[in-house]
Structure 1
Amino acid sequence: MSFQNPQLLFGLFALVIPILIHFFNFRKTRKVYFSNTRFLQKVKESTATRKRLKHYLILASRLLFIFFLVLAFAQPFLPAPESSSSGDPVFVYLDNSWSMSNEVDDGVPALDRSIGFLDELVRQFPPTTQYKLLTNDFLASSRTLKSAREMEELITEIEYSGVPRRMDEVLSRLEADTQGSSVNLFWLSDFQKATLGADVLNFDSSRQINIVPFEFSNDANAFVDSLYVENPLMITDEQVRLHVIFSKVGGSGSGEVIAKVYLDGVQSGTASVSLSANSRQELVFDLSVDRSRPHRGKIVFEEFPVTFDNEFNFVLNIPETIVVLDIKGGDAITPVELVYGNSDLFDLVSQPASNLDYNQIELSDLVIINGINVLDPPLATALNRYLGAGGTVMMIPGENISVESYRNLNGLGSLQLYDSMGLNTLSTPDYDNPFFDNVFEERNDRLQMPAAIPIVTSDIFREKILSFPDGKPFLSVRRGTGDIYLMSTPLSEAYGNFSRHALFVPVMYKVAVSGKSERNELYRYINRSSFSLKQDSTATNSLYKLIREDEEIIPQQRVDGNRIYFEVPRFTLSTGFYELYRDETFLGLVAFNTDPEESDIRQMNREEVVQAFQGKLVDVLSVDSQSDFAGVISEKFIGKTLWKEALMLALLFLLLEVLLIRFMP
């Protein structure tokens, strides 16, 4: 048996007080007159025996009362199996992601239940215990030890976080914070299957982790998985076709979801979809939009009890024109100039290689080397720098090309002349190639294809977009830091009719769209908040900021070449819309949502949790209520307290003393 306040055992010296009282108080004599000494002898014998017994019983009850009263204040307890670690710091990871808003068996959100457990944890451990509290925000302040009072204040400040964390991330952070020290680790989470992360969780195998899982009463949830528009550049004048992908996980049977689309707060469409367990369905909305301004869009539906993902935000921003640089071999007008002549969509700059403004290369979304026979080394160097910064280049050979001069260009080191096979018709496109998304209204294997005479090829361009019947590529792409498209034939009529074929315009548009640096990003996720913009050469010292009502966020900014990269602290973001400004200039809207992985509320069971830790020392604490949790913590770390029993015995002996004095003659 041990004591929480052993210094109070000095109070046992008070036991001498009733003993002294016994010796001095109960020995007082009283004079009684008797007429006959024979009666005196009988009285003396009978009363002395009875009085002595009463005095001893009263003395014993007083001694036992004081003894157990002192024990009660010293707080005796039977040590727990891990009581030796009860004085170590307590490290707690609390999963405060939005999935913890789902209800446990008694209708209480899992986060509220976990906060109650934390309160009980602080009450159970000794008052001198120090704590660290880690949440999904991974705040720097979570690295410092807190007192019990500070921990109680932190618990009251816990809110939902839009940042989900994988288990390997949490373990890495805990490992860094503990640094091999002896601590008591607690992990409170719903243990979603989507958060498992790495197959093997690396952690100090000698350290035990106390797992507190929260089992949901409902594991079904419907949510917006993704959405897209058929024309990301909004090439059509007014109408936008919005595709919304719904998913449902868990549960059984099927249910109907009624979804509404709002643009700038006005309902623009409604549709319903039937979702069965673990299925995906698509809804399509035709929206009329004004291309002169950005629009705040929102998908809204109702589903219970998981409601945090019942809204999905998106933005239809004003599409900027695509800057195309056409570097041509002569002064004549080329098919490239004609196809990109729509000034509403493209900002075309066409210059002969002999009179090229090299500064224009870095300002372009797409650079086309069009019909140049010999690629000068200075131009190759400028293009390599452009590709290294993430640019997109399309190479269309000249009729008398020098392949050796092109081998200085990154990605064209294996360029070689094509063994002539004459005019040959191209094969039907691969309709499953993402490049052709939204190009064809229907699949047609008998589509009349253009014909061409190839003159160059390269073995390292393995992603074919269009090809000949023998498998040789007509148009291919090599992807890397920058993308480079290779066309195997010139665009002149002597080498084919591709430039006059109906396929020419959508293919060239698709190439331009792939090179667009600032696409119309419909939405972003809070946990993937990094993005980049093309840096305006006149705004090198500008300040970029995100503004939402009274909230202003200045993201970390890093300039690399002609681009500026932003890193927004994830824990500062909320779902909704932010306005992006450069100084006082409005640039557009940004919509943030929670990651769809967070909406997948399917959980690991007890065996899967233990297996995830790969044999580490894991103790899964299966508790359903705050009182159960308190009992488990006390039994494991504190031990069985006996102060209540000691106090009850003290009161019992006090009552016994009163009864002896009152009723025993």
Structure 2
Amino acid sequence: MTFLYPTYLRALFLVLIPIIIHIFKFRRYTTVYFSNVRALSQLKREKKQQKHLKELLILASRILAITFLVTAFAHPFIPPKNASTKANLNKAGIYIDNSFSMLAGSEGNNLLEQAKQEALNLANSYPADTKFALVTNDLSLQNQRLLDRSMLINRISALEATPARPSLSQIIRVLSRRLKSENNAGPTSVYLFSDFQKNIADIRQLKADTSMNLNIGLLKAQQSNNLLVDSAWFAVPGRIKGTAETLYARVKNNGDQELNDVPVRYFENDSLRSVTSFDLKPEQEKTVTLNFTARSAGIKNARVELTDFPVTYDNTLYLGFRVTGQINTLVIHGNDDGEKYLSALLQTDSLVHYQEVNWQQVRTGDLSSQQIIFLTQLPELSSGLTASLSEFIRQDGTVVFFPSRNGDLESYNSFIAKMQGNPYSGTIDTTAMHIGKLDVTNPLFQDVFSGPNPDGDLPEIKSHFPSQTVNPTALPILSLPNGNLLLSESQPGKGKCFLFTLPPSGENREFFTHALFVPLIYKMVLTSVHGSALYYTIGRDKVLDLPFPGNGNAQGQMHLKGVGNSFDWLPSVQPLPGNRFQMKTGAVTKAGNYKLTSGNGALPLAFNYNRKESEPVCYDASQLTEQLHDAGLNQVQLFKASDAKISYQFNVIHSGRQLWRLFLVFAIMALLAEVLIIRFWK
């Protein structure tokens, strides 16, 4: 047995007080006269012996009471049997996992609240002059310095859940760095309070550190029921005014109860646009469909949400996108015959902003404002135009190429090589043949045919440039019976390139007036609208690659503003080629809709919390012990929440088994014995 505060033992000299009182106790005696005292002499001797014994017992009880009381104030304890070195009580490290997974449990008594209470109890068990290193998931700089007990209590009490998810090995490195900032008098005790999710508890990456005594408090929720919106996506990439939209949302039931008729809602600019319901069995997921019509053009701040308790951070998935009013379409032609079929189809369409220009009058700087560019019957393709078109496709533009019967084959193939397509292998072939095969699974033919095999006659092709599949990344869409390609698709960047092998001349008029041509071209135009990502994940998408808002260039200071809240941040941006830029998102810590503005332009953005926090896959005690053993950490102390209070067990570990309460009970018993002797010993 040893003492936490041995200096208090000096107070044992107080036992001299009852001894002095006992020795120098004087009483006044009164004389009583009797006629015969012979019978009283024997009684006098007996009473004197009993009185002496009573006074000795009273003295002993007082001495024991003082001794026990002083010993209790000195905090006696029995050191742990395995303690080879004396623990350093001047400093201690505490990690509280305040990720969203710690919100599991009953409301008001979730794992985070339990961890905070255990940490507060632990801090109060240390000496008053102990300094603490507090680490939480956000790795806050305000906790970078060691804290005294009062500051620690304030920081822990104000602690809230955060979307940050650092790995366990990173947490240990931060704790080690902060605790080693000053000289240590011995190994420092470090306490970890967490549910130890498998996707962040990289225990095998931990390394043994003789400067720290690692103590782990494994917290586990009594209930793990959680329903969440995991992800969402549209059936097609871009949003166009007036079109019917289909939004898919994946929902997950991470609980052990079957759910029936659960409503899920889709809101757009705070207006309810669609609602559906679903049934879901335990530990399963389902994709639900939300249908609505894009009524108006512009920015849409949307969200998909459901209702679930007590874990609520994953009930809502925020989406941000823009609905296009008109699709910017440019036709670059070599002669008037090259564009007449396209102008007849697209020029009067209200969804298409149609422009055409002669190939000798093209201004390459204007290409970036387009969404789809048609090249039809150009005599040749210059290196400058090829380079501009390559950059246009790399930045998610769409190019459709129709060759000229007498065009420059060398410049064509140079352009096709840049597009990662299949080159023209020879001069024009004038053998007449019908289209032999088409890929009905291609999105261009979605909702065009009623079945897997198209009905009716396909158009006859009377001239084409021979082209075989050489590049496996170029997908064939239309093919001829001799194996030559008629239309193929390649994706050299974020955009697409559609390569035709037939010239739009009069001899191929049957193809350009056939019913197949209309949906084919129209779908190319519609699919050219490529919206940016619907949402980003906080903590994962740390750097975004975005187009400049507005007219495609930085016209003023960038502002990232929260929609419906006071968030306003001036991000630093790094310009990139193609009127794009990179932006860091470290300042965004709250899920929601945001708007990035510059000058008169605006870009919708949405940020959501990482759904990995919703995965209830945590280590249990046996798995955690096995992982620690495999990592070579055999001296780590592990405690479960199902045991006695974790803070009490940690207290036993760093200072042995506490005995001060026992000695306090002994002191009370000694005082009680004194009272009983005086009261009942006559």
The DSSP-based 3-state class of the residue aligned with 1:12 is helix
Map of 1:375 onto structure 2: 381
Q: Say whether the 8 Å CA contact 1:101–1:110 is kept in structure 2.
A: yes
Residue number among 637, 649, 653 corresponding to 1:632 in the alignment: 649
Map of 1:159 onto structure 2: 160
* % identity of equivalent residues: 20
Q: What letter corresponds to residue 11 of structure 2 in structure 1?
A: G
- TM-aligned CA distance change 1:540 to 1:62, over 3 Å: same
The DSSP-based 3-state class of the residue aligned with 2:363 is coil
| Residue 357 of structure 2 corresponds to residue 357 of structure 1 | no
Question: 2: CA distance between counterparts of 1:412 and 1:341?
Answer: 27
Map of 1:621 onto structure 2: 639
Question: 2: CA distance between counterparts of 1:475 and 1:333?
Answer: 17
| Residue 618 of structure 2 corresponds to residue 582 of structure 1 | no
- TM-aligned CA distance change 1:607 to 1:642, over 3 Å: closer
Map of 2:425 onto structure 1: 418
Q: What letter corresponds to residue 409 of structure 2 in structure 1?
A: S
Map of 2:13 onto structure 1: 13
Q: CA deviation at 1:50?
A: 6.2
Question: 1: CA distance between counterparts of 2:641 and 2:151?
Answer: 26
Q: What letter corresponds to residue 365 of structure 2 in structure 1?
A: N
The DSSP-based 3-state class of the residue aligned with 1:318 is strand
The DSSP-based 3-state class of the residue aligned with 2:253 is strand
Map of 1:128 onto structure 2: 129
Map of 1:102 onto structure 2: 104
Q: Say whether the 8 Å CA contact 1:329–1:353 is kept in structure 2.
A: yes
Map of 2:670 onto structure 1: 653
Q: CA deviation at 1:652?
A: 3.0
Map of 1:113 onto structure 2: 114
Question: 1: CA distance between counterparts of 2:368 and 2:63?
Answer: 95
Q: CA deviation at 1:137?
A: 3.6
- TM-aligned CA distance change 1:236 to 1:12, over 3 Å: closer
Q: What letter corresponds to residue 418 of structure 1 in structure 2?
A: S
Q: CA deviation at 1:563?
A: 1.4
Question: 1: CA distance between counterparts of 2:61 and 2:581?
Answer: 84
Map of 1:76 onto structure 2: 76
| Residue 454 of structure 2 corresponds to residue 427 of structure 1 | no
Q: What letter corresponds to residue 504 of structure 2 in structure 1?
A: S
Q: Say whether the 8 Å CA contact 2:240–2:323 is kept in structure 1.
A: no
Using the TM superposition, name which of 407-416 and 444-453 deviates more. Answer: 407-416
Map of 1:532 onto structure 2: 546
Q: What letter corresponds to residue 582 of structure 1 in structure 2?
A: S
Q: Say whether the 8 Å CA contact 1:257–1:274 is kept in structure 2.
A: yes
What is the 5 A alignment of 1:277-356? 277-292=282-297, 294-314=299-319, 317-319=322-324, 321-330=326-335, 332-334=337-339, 335=341, 340-341=346-347, 344-356=350-362
The DSSP-based 3-state class of the residue aligned with 1:287 is strand
- TM-aligned CA distance change 1:426 to 1:604, over 3 Å: farther
Q: CA deviation at 1:629?
A: 2.1
Instruction: Between the two structures, name the one with larger relative contact order (CA 8 Å, sep ≥ 6).
Output: 1
The DSSP-based 3-state class of the residue aligned with 1:259 is strand
Q: What letter corresponds to residue 545 of structure 1 in structure 2?
A: L
The DSSP-based 3-state class of the residue aligned with 2:207 is coil
Q: What letter corresponds to residue 546 of structure 2 in structure 1?
A: S
Question: 2: CA distance between counterparts of 1:476 and 1:401?
Answer: 20
Q: What letter corresponds to residue 274 of structure 1 in structure 2?
A: D
Q: CA deviation at 1:88?
A: 4.0
Question: 2: CA distance between counterparts of 1:486 and 1:613?
Answer: 56
Question: 2: CA distance between counterparts of 1:463 and 1:277?
Answer: 43
Question: 2: CA distance between counterparts of 1:489 and 1:249?
Answer: 53
- TM-aligned CA distance change 1:412 to 1:128, over 3 Å: same
- TM-aligned CA distance change 1:197 to 1:656, over 3 Å: closer
Map of 1:178 onto structure 2: 176
- TM-aligned CA distance change 1:93 to 1:528, over 3 Å: same
Question: 1: CA distance between counterparts of 2:678 and 2:598?
Answer: 90
Question: 1: CA distance between counterparts of 2:395 and 2:234?
Answer: 28
Map of 2:183 onto structure 1: none
What is the 5 A alignment of 1:138-537? 138-161=139-162, 163=163, 165=165, 169-179=167-177, 181=180, 184-192=189-197, 195-196=199-200, 201-206=204-209, 210-230=215-235, 233-235=238-240, 237=242, 239-251=244-256, 253=258, 255-292=260-297, 294-314=299-319, 317-319=322-324, 321-330=326-335, 332-334=337-339, 335=341, 340-341=346-347, 344-384=350-390, 386=392, 393=399, 395-399=401-405, 400-403=407-410, 407=414, 411=418, 416-418=423-425, 423=433, 425-429=435-439, 431=441, 435-436=443-444, 438-440=446-448, 442-447=450-455, 453-456=464-467, 459-466=470-477, 468=479, 474-479=486-491, 481-483=493-495, 485=497, 487=499, 489-493=501-505, 499-508=512-521, 511=524, 516=529, 518-519=531-532, 522-527=534-539, 530=544, 532-535=546-549, 536=551
1:605-660 CA distance string (max 9 Å, x none): 444455666823365421148x6223322222332211122222233334444555
Q: Say whether the 8 Å CA contact 1:371–1:397 is kept in structure 2.
A: yes
Q: Say whether the 8 Å CA contact 1:555–1:567 is kept in structure 2.
A: no
Q: CA deviation at 1:350?
A: 3.5
Q: Say whether the 8 Å CA contact 2:268–2:301 is kept in structure 1.
A: yes
- TM-aligned CA distance change 1:404 to 1:217, over 3 Å: same
Question: 1: CA distance between counterparts of 2:118 and 2:445?
Answer: 51
Question: 1: CA distance between counterparts of 2:282 and 2:478?
Answer: 41
The DSSP-based 3-state class of the residue aligned with 1:572 is coil
Question: 2: CA distance between counterparts of 1:224 and 1:570?
Answer: 24
Map of 2:184 onto structure 1: none
Q: Say whether the 8 Å CA contact 1:517–1:533 is kept in structure 2.
A: no
Q: CA deviation at 1:92?
A: 0.5
Q: What letter corresponds to residue 428 of structure 1 in structure 2?
A: L
Q: CA deviation at 1:551?
A: 0.6
Question: 1: CA distance between counterparts of 2:301 and 2:44?
Answer: 106
1:14-47 CA distance string (max 9 Å, x none): 3444455555x15999899999999999899878
Question: 2: CA distance between counterparts of 1:88 and 1:100?
Answer: 26
Question: 1: CA distance between counterparts of 2:158 and 2:321?
Answer: 36
- TM-aligned CA distance change 1:92 to 1:552, over 3 Å: same
Q: Say whether the 8 Å CA contact 1:557–1:564 is kept in structure 2.
A: no
| Residue 539 of structure 2 corresponds to residue 560 of structure 1 | no
Q: CA deviation at 1:152?
A: 1.6
Q: Say whether the 8 Å CA contact 1:14–1:66 is kept in structure 2.
A: yes
- TM-aligned CA distance change 1:646 to 1:441, over 3 Å: farther
Q: What letter corresponds to residue 659 of structure 2 in structure 1?
A: L
The DSSP-based 3-state class of the residue aligned with 2:324 is coil
1:506-548 CA distance string (max 9 Å, x none): 55555556654644x5555445564623353564333323133
The DSSP-based 3-state class of the residue aligned with 1:361 is helix
Question: 2: CA distance between counterparts of 1:379 and 1:79?
Answer: 82
| Residue 551 of structure 2 corresponds to residue 543 of structure 1 | no
Question: 2: CA distance between counterparts of 1:293 and 1:141?
Answer: 42
Question: 1: CA distance between counterparts of 2:108 and 2:28?
Answer: 74
1:254-286 CA distance string (max 9 Å, x none): 622233444555544443322233444444444
- TM-aligned CA distance change 1:146 to 1:274, over 3 Å: same
Q: Say whether the 8 Å CA contact 2:420–2:491 is kept in structure 1.
A: no
Question: 2: CA distance between counterparts of 1:222 and 1:598?
Answer: 12
Q: Say whether the 8 Å CA contact 2:133–2:175 is kept in structure 1.
A: no
Question: 2: CA distance between counterparts of 1:555 and 1:437?
Answer: 45
